[in-house]
Amino acid sequence: MTGFYDDESCLRPVAPARAVPHSGDAPGSGVPILNDLSVQSGGAIPLARDEAPKEKHVPVQIEFCGVTKMYGAVAAVRDVSLTVSRGEFLTILGPSGSGKTTALMLLAGFVAPSSGDILIDGKSVAAVPSYRRDQGIVFQSYALFPHLSVRRNLEFPLEMRGVAAADRAGRVTRFLDRVHLTDFGDRLPWQLSGGQQQRVALARALIADPPVFLLDEPLGALDRHLREQMQDEIRSLHKEFGKTTICVTHDQEEALTLSDRIIVMRSGRIEQIGTPEGLYDRPATAFVANFLGEANIFEDPAFKIEADATQPSGTLAMIRPERIRLAVATGPGRADTDQRQSVIGTVTKMIYAGPLRKYHVSIGKSVLIVRQHVASGQEIFDRGDEVRLDWLRSDVRFVSA
């Protein structure tokens, strides 16, 4: 198994099957019945489960143990092992074709592993069909029932679980209110905007109180402004309901904003797992560094890179563009020069991008990207200007090629 892990995943012995008490489960049916759907005034919508006192250590809820999915000769997912804690927001990030959706569909039960196993609450779900896995799923296409009103769309998962009509109505009203669609209950999905449809899809996935919430490119169809609004909505729903959430996206910013941890996938494998800050600030490979944002990676630098740490063999030095400062080449040096490396270069390009300016600066045959957030009184440079670049030696990272 390759990759960089910040947890021990399935390399540790698998715990014996742990039955998680679901107070409302219909005996033997595998289909939970909600037992507390009363409408309360104000506050969070009451949840039928997950109300047990918080445990000191957060237990593992989902485990992938050496999971591989082959499509003919193509390994969509290869030997993936990972653990997800209860209540965690985990994002699977990667380029097109890296296996993100397949990993999510394996968890949802829409596809079966070719080898390996998936455990939920310590039990293998190999023999559990998708409709019995009790997961709320939101697809990029929303997948709302086009012939049903918004209200009926929300009622559907409750009806499937045998919730009485009177309880259904109250809960639907509460959820409509929660996603700011109180006045839209009688509309059909096509009579809503994309963002409104997405909110219906989120509410429908949560309304039956599933312990696990799966999001497949949930904001992919929305424009930037709406995407940011919906990121806030998803964050606040996660905070309010505390569901274990697995989200697939190819949008780095979305992953960095929403997640407790991110998995970066590449060619079906996990390249690295970590917290957003950990991955962005300390990528293990050039692939992760580049995928999570812009990076200056020095393959053959025109000058010697100084760093606080010793460069491990086989690695490349890397520095993020926003860590580099620009100043007039002939200007006075900085106060903390003992902690900084400073080089002189020539601006070859300046790109204006609203709140920031991006510069390309050549130093011999090396070209560095520098990103400067616009601030009042800041010096602005243009093509041909000679500039002094400097950065903290402690901001230099080393990544595998």
Ligand X SMILES: Nc1ncnc2c1ncn2[C@@H]1O[C@H](COP(=O)(O)OP(=O)(O)OP(=O)(O)O)[C@@H](O)[C@H]1O
Instruction: Give the burial string for 77-115 (b: 16+ CB within 10 Å, else e).
Output: bbbbbbbbbbbbbbbbbbeeebbbbbbbbbbbbebebee
Please report whether residue 96 would count as binding ligand X according to CB under 6 A.
Answer: yes
How many beta carbons lie within 10 A of that of residue 342, not counting itself?
14
Interface with ligand X includes 157 (CB under 6 A)?
Answer: no
Whichever of 92 and 163 has its CB closer to ligand X, that residue is 92
Least separation in angstroms between residue 80's CB and ligand X is 11
Q: Shortest approach of ligand X to residue 266 CB, angstroms? A: 10
Which of 61, 81, 83, 102 touches ligand X by CB under 6 A? 102
Q: How far is the CB of 79 from ligand X (least distance, A)?
A: 14
CA dist 188 → 32, 133, 146, 157, 358 (Å) = 28, 28, 7, 17, 45
Examine residue 250 and tell whether it contacts ligand X (CB under 6 A).
Answer: yes
List the one residue from 91, 98, 259, 341 that touches ligand X (CB under 6 A): 98
Measure the CA–CA gap between 168 and 148, rounded to whole angstroms.
15
Given the rule CB under 6 A, which of 92-100, 124-132, 153-161, 198-206 is the region that contacts ligand X? 92-100
Among 45, 76, 206, 370, binds ligand X (CB under 6 A): 76
Q: Is 73 in the site for ligand X (CB under 6 A)?
A: no
Under the criterion CB under 6 A, does residue 112 sit at the interface with ligand X? no
Relative to beta strand 244-249, strand 212-216 is: parallel
Q: Is residue 259 involved in binding ligand X (CB under 6 A)?
A: no
Which lies closer to ligand X via its Cβ, residue 66 or residue 97?
97
Tell me how far apart the alpha carbons of residues 253 and 381 are, in angstroms, rounded to a whole number.
28
Distance CA(329)–CA(373), nearest Å, equals: 19
From first CA to last CA, the distance across the chain in angstroms is 18
The footprint of ligand X on this chain (CB under 6 A) covers a number of residues equal to 12
**Residue 164 binds ligand X (CB under 6 A):** no
Window of 18-26, 48-56, 70-78, 330-338 that interacts with ligand X by CB under 6 A = 70-78
Taking CA 288 as the corner, what is the angle to CA 238 and CA 322, rounded to the nearest 5 degrees?
85
Query: What b-and-e string marks burial along 192-209, b requiring 16 or more CB atoms within 10 Å of the CB?
Result: beebbbbbbbbbbbbbbb
220 counts as binding ligand X under rule CB under 6 A: no
User: What SS3 state is found at 234?
Assistant: helix
Of 354, 348, 343, the C-alpha closest to 381 is 348
Nearer to ligand X, 198 or 249 (CB): 249
> Which lies closer to ligand X via its Cβ, residue 64 or residue 175?
64
Whichever of 163 and 214 has its CB closer to ligand X, that residue is 214
The nearest distance, CB 273 to ligand X, in angstroms, is: 16
Task: Please list, in sequence order, all residues whose beta carbon lies within 8 angstroms of the beta carbon of residue 207, skipping any fewer than 6 positions away.
Answer: 154, 157, 158, 171, 172, 175
Q: Tell me which residues touch ligand X (CB under 6 A).
A: 71, 74, 76, 94, 96-102, 250
